[in-house]
């Protein structure tokens, strides 16, 4: 598993994936900026205070709150855009590292859109649950890793498997190797928790789970990366 993670991280900033990264970064930042502006405009438009210093204090508090809100939104926004670029990333890594294997097939649009919406919704609900647990001292960080480790590991691994299997088979394959997939999800959650680096999480997670799937498909043996 750690060999697969190391391989994925070494590929994240390689030339074929840079274009995907810049597109994903542009979309993500655009959404975050729109949300920031909307929050600031909402406060300015609906809250009138009698003293300038109160307005300044409220603006500062709103800014701090927006930072926390945007930090929370990185995971679901990344999940949303992962669905748009996953097949592109997977096709590149298959051509480069597994050129001798049967190529995977992208999900039809009729299936990929519901899958992306489901993935985004699951991540939002999971992070809302983890956010509520912030009120419980001592378990908030643990909750973040457990929730995101399970959800991200499950969804990214099933995406990789569904390029080669039917959805039901992919879910069964993931469940049969649930411990390994969960540990892989914890690695993804760890990257998600690091500011700036969390922007490459969708690319890393897709690469990582593609490599991990190939390794498990071959019975846990060493994956043969093409050069």
Measured distance CA(133)–CA(96) in Å, rounded: 42
Cα 10 vs. chain centroid, distance in angstroms? 18
Closest CA to 209 of 117, 114, 144, 119: 119
In a domain, 174, yes or no: yes
In a domain, 132, yes or no: yes
In a domain, 83, yes or no: yes
In a domain, 224, yes or no: no
Cβ atoms of 188 and 176 within 8 Å: the answer is no
CA angle 110, 116, 119 (to 5 degrees): 135
Measured distance CA(112)–CA(158) in Å, rounded: 12
Measured distance CA(143)–CA(113) in Å, rounded: 29
In a domain, 208, yes or no: yes
Domain span at residue 84 reads 1-218
List Cα–Cα distances, 101 to 90, 125, 169, 203, 225, in angstroms.
13, 37, 19, 21, 11
Helix (H, G, I), strand (E, B) or coil at 194: coil
What DSSP character marks residue 102? P
pLDDT at 224: 53
Residue 180: partners with Cβ closer than 8 Å, 6 or more residues away = 1, 212, 216
In a domain, 227, yes or no: no
The total number of structural domains in the chain stands at 1
In a domain, 61, yes or no: yes
Instruction: Provide the whole-model pTM.
Output: 0.76
Can you give the pLDDT of all 227 residues of the chain as single tens digits?
Answer: 788 888 899 888 888 888 888 887 777 778 777 877 777 677 666 665 566 666 667 666 766 666 666 666 666 676 676 677 888 889 999 998 998 898 898 877 777 777 777 777 776 776 676 666 666 666 767 777 888 888 889 988 998 999 999 889 999 999 999 999 999 999 988 887 777 777 788 889 899 999 999 999 987 655 554 54
In a domain, 223, yes or no: no
């Amino acid at each position: 598993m750690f060999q697969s993670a190391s391989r994925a991280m070494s590929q994240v900033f390689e030339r074929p994936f840079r274009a995907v990264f810049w597109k994903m970064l542009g979309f993500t930042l655009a959404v975050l900026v729109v949300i920031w502006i909307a929050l600031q405009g909402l406060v300015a438009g609906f809250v009138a205070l009698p003293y300038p210093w109160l307005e300044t204090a409220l603006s500062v508090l709103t800014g701090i709150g927006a930072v926390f809100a945007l930090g929370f939104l990185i995971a679901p926004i990344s999940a949303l855009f992962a669905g748009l670029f996953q097949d592109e990333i997977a096709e590149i890594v298959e051509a480069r590292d597994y050129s001798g294997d049967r190529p995977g097939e992208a999900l039809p649009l009729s299936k990929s859109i519901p899958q992306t919406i489901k993935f985004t919704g699951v991540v939002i609900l999971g992070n809302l649950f983890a956010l509520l647990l912030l009120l419980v001292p001592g378990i908030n960080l643990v909750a973040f890793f457990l929730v995101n480790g399970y959800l991200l590991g499950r969804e990214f691994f099933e995406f990789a498997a569904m390029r080669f299997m039917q959805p039901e088979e992919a879910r069964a394959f993931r469940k049969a190797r649930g411990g390994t997939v969960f540990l892989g999800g914890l690695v993804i959650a760890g990257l998600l928790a690091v500011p700036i680096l969390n922007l490459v999480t969708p690319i890393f997670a897709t690469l990582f789970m593609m490599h991990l799937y190939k390794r498990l498909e071959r019975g846990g043996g060493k994956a043969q990366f093409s050069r």
